[in-house]
Amino acid sequence: MKICITCGVQQTATDNFCPICNDERQYVGFDGQQWTSSSEMRATHSNSIEQLSDRVFSIWTQPKFAIGQRCLLIQSAGGNILWDCISLLDGATISRIEELGGISAIAISHPHYYSALVDWSRAFGDAPVLIHEDDREWVLRPDPCIHFWKGELHPLGPEMTLIRCGGHFEGAQVLHWNEGILFTGDVIQVVPDRRWVSFMRSYPNYIPLPASAVGRIVSAVEPFEFDKLYGAWPRFEILNDAHGAVRRSAERYIKALSGDLGQRDFPESSAG
């Protein structure tokens, strides 16, 4: 089973072509399409696991691999949820997660983070993987563990709700926990100035979203209460007033699209 070195998604394709990296939101690396495997990764990489709060654990691969996102293990009353996914799964990671109560279900924000979702599911009793129906075409390793849901909201146990936001991908989703936390991957992207977030169709290729898409994302999460927001990378977190940060950031983004951020206008050229 091949893993794309650029996006980290495991796939069954036999030709030298990664559909995710050939999409405009991603890219093929400067050295062309390259692949690795789970066994090769286990020889050169390992996972770190850090407790972020009483019931939230961050899991990421070192040295950095592919996009470099983390996944998050959430200990909820209805069973542990893995939010997003990473390419590497080894024995040490499985043992530590089992100590923490295992995994009851997996939910992934968007196709760039599908990584080795089937391997993770099988390691934890064929845990169901929740993906929005609108992103079905991007599943590159089909498996019965994958459950596609439709509509705008999907309950995930008694404490959590999947919210379809769209934007980055048509079926892009975020996860709300009634502990006042929103898990977003980069559907809503925490930026280095962690008072703010951003929204993009493509981050590496700098393709913005239209104002209507940004408005839809904010409208989708607006009814939910959350003070904290956990993004796609370690330390990319907003730990207070996250709801306000999303609202303010959307307003700023839409102003920027309309040219209303107060920048100086340059006169038209008189050349010619």
Q: In CATH, what number is assigned to the domain containing residue 130?
A: 3.60.15.10
pLDDT (tens digit per residue) in 190-248: 999 999 999 999 999 999 999 999 999 999 999 999 999 999 999 999 999 999 999 99
Residue 271 placed within a domain: no
Assign 171 a pLDDT band (cuts: 50, 70, 90): very high
> pTM of the entire structure?
0.94
d(CA 87, CA 73): 15
Q: Is residue 265 part of a domain?
A: no
Helix 211-221 vs helix 242-257: angle between axes, to the nearest 10 degrees?
170
Share of the chain above pLDDT 90, in %: 92
pLDDT, position 155: 97
Band the pLDDT of 18: cuts 50, 70, 90: very high
Within-domain flag for 122: yes
As for how many domains the chain has, the answer is 1
| Interval 26-64: pLDDT, tens | 999 999 999 999 999 999 999 999 999 999 999 999 999
In a domain, 246, yes or no: yes
Compute the distance between CA of residue 162 and CA of residue 147 in angstroms, rounded to an integer.
13
Helix then strand then coil, in percent of the chain rounded to 5, is 20, 30, 50
Please give, one letter per residue, the 3-state secondary structure of 111-124: HHHCCCHHHHHHHC
Tell me if 61 is assigned to some domain: yes
pLDDT for position 270: 47
Question: Model confidence at 269, in pLDDT bands (50, 70, 90)?
Answer: very low
Residue 268 domain-assigned (yes or no) = no
Q: Which domain holds residue 223?
A: 2-257
Integer angstrom CA distances of residue 151 from 166, 173, 257: 11, 11, 29
